[in-house]
Amino acid sequence: MSIRIRSLADGELRAWSQAVYTAFGGESRDDDFASFERIAEPDRILAAVDGEVIVGGGGAFTYRLTVPGGEIGAAGVTAVGILPTHRRQGALTQLMQAQLDDVARRGEPVAILWASEGSIYQRFGYGLAAVEARLEVPRARSAFRLAIEPEGATRMVTRAMAAQQFPAVYEAIRAVTPGFFDRSSAWWDVEVLDDPEHHRRGAGPKRFLLYEVGGQVEGYLIYRTAGDWEKRALEVRELMATSPRATRGLWRFCFGHDLITTIRAGFQPVDHPLLLLAAEPRHLELKVGDALWLRILDVAGVLSGRSYAASDRLVMEIADSFRPQTAGRWALDTTGDVPHVERTDEPADIALDINDLACLYLGAFSAGDLARAGRTTEATDGAWARLDALFHTDRKPWCPQVF
């Protein structure tokens, strides 16, 4: 095999970008590349090369990931692709090994990503850590169970005002929502607020809306409209609310928008409040799919980085075929003031794979869910229930944006 993985050299970012875009069937436009340069971290980009020709690769962003009770460092894996001419030659396996080694060297306990195909990354130890909901509501069937009286005011704002006001709302929600990651000012510009026409796919421009109560901002909405007069959709790009009344008020705005036949929204929380607000939840046409995938590299760092809902000591036998150094028997002790995690030779209470621990970690799934899927073994009676008591959270994880 002639393909090897190496760090990106100076001046190679454009060639790397073109190779990865081509791998995904697209094209690296000059304006898109200029935007990407603003958020790219070249020292985190790996190139797959045949000789000295770049034939693909992958990169990562440096994030802080919200977990139950806190946050941890995370590598946001992105733009992983190999040219069609060089697939099925082991390049992706090499790339994943090199990238995970690099993440571990940086002291980040996890890597996270959105997968083009989930089956690919499960081979490398990624587990499904958060799911997303998508909804498509006919406006004619978008009534609420009870009338929602306005408690605040909505107003359109400019992009400049959005850049000023939106981040604080997002940060307030990020602080308490597992699965959220931090956003730099450049990220807000490039990935949230910028609106190149060729990204609209024929739809209208982004609109920016604030929700305020007594002059205090409690939420925001980014949306656009698409379609003609007879069949027009309101597309929710991002809706964030720091209070239940802001949630109700912003969805009231969406459902009550004139000259709209359909309301669409993706990247929504799976435990969506509309299920309890809508008069006809069936007509939300809610669909659930995979969202955030998480790869644990440092078991002790990950488990000690979150809070727990019970006091207990549990021993887990963790298997990891891709990175055997992570495997072994780990004791999680939450009986003290802070969680303590260490390797142990004690008998295990429960056996699971590193993928399965990722499914549990943010609260997307329970040990009972894994057990019903045949993905974990209970060595001690009641271990599944004890694990669920430890990992219980009051909200499902939610990652509101692809990276």
- When computed from its CA atoms, the radius of gyration of the chain, rounded to whole angstroms, is 23
| pTM to 2 decimal places | 0.96
Catalytic residues: 121, 403
Q: Do 3-108 and 133-288 agree at the fold level?
A: yes
Confidence at residue 283, expressed as pLDDT on a 0 to 100 scale: 97
What mean pLDDT comes out for the span 241-252? 98
Average pLDDT (233-242) is 98
Q: Which residues pair with 236 in a beta bridge?
A: 223, 265
CA angle 361, 323, 85 (to 5 degrees): 105
Supply the DSSP symbol for 371: H
Q: What is the pLDDT of residues 14-52, one digit of tens each?
A: 999 999 999 999 888 999 999 999 999 999 999 999 998
Q: Which long-range contacts (CB under 8 A, 24 or more apart) does 143-148 make?
A: 143/255, 143/278, 143/279, 143/280, 144/252, 144/255, 144/277, 144/278, 144/279, 145/276, 145/277, 145/278, 145/279, 148/248, 148/249, 148/252, 148/277
Instruction: Sketch the domain layout of the chain as residue ranges.
Output: 3-108, 133-288, 299-353+365-391
**Domain 299-353+365-391 bears CATH identifier 3.30.1050.10:** yes
The C-alpha atoms of residue 131 and residue 63 are separated, in whole angstroms, by: 19
Give mean pLDDT, residues 143-163: 96
**Confidence bin at 80 (pLDDT 50/70/90):** very high
- State the first-to-last Cα distance of the chain, in angstroms, to the nearest integer: 31
Domain 133-288 falls in which CATH fold? Aminopeptidase (3.40.630)
Q: Which amino acid is at 372?
A: R
What is the bridge-based pairing of β-strands 313-319 and 350-353? Answer: parallel
Residue 1 scores a pLDDT above 70: no
- Tens digits of residue pLDDT in 290-333: 999 999 999 999 999 999 999 999 999 999 999 999 999 999 99
- Residue-averaged pLDDT of the chain: 96
Contact indicator for 327, 318 with CB cutoff of 8 Å: yes
Compute the average pLDDT of residues 45-71: 97
Distances in whole angstroms, Cα of residue 352 to Cα of each of 47, 218, 319, 380: 33, 42, 6, 13
Question: Per CATH, which fold does 3-108 belong to?
Answer: Aminopeptidase (3.40.630)
pLDDT at 202 over 70: yes
Which residue in the block uniquely carries the two structure tokens 């970008």? 17
Question: What string of DSSP letters covers 269-315?
Answer: -SS-THHHHBS-GGGG--EEEE-EEEEES-HHHHHTTS--SS--EEE
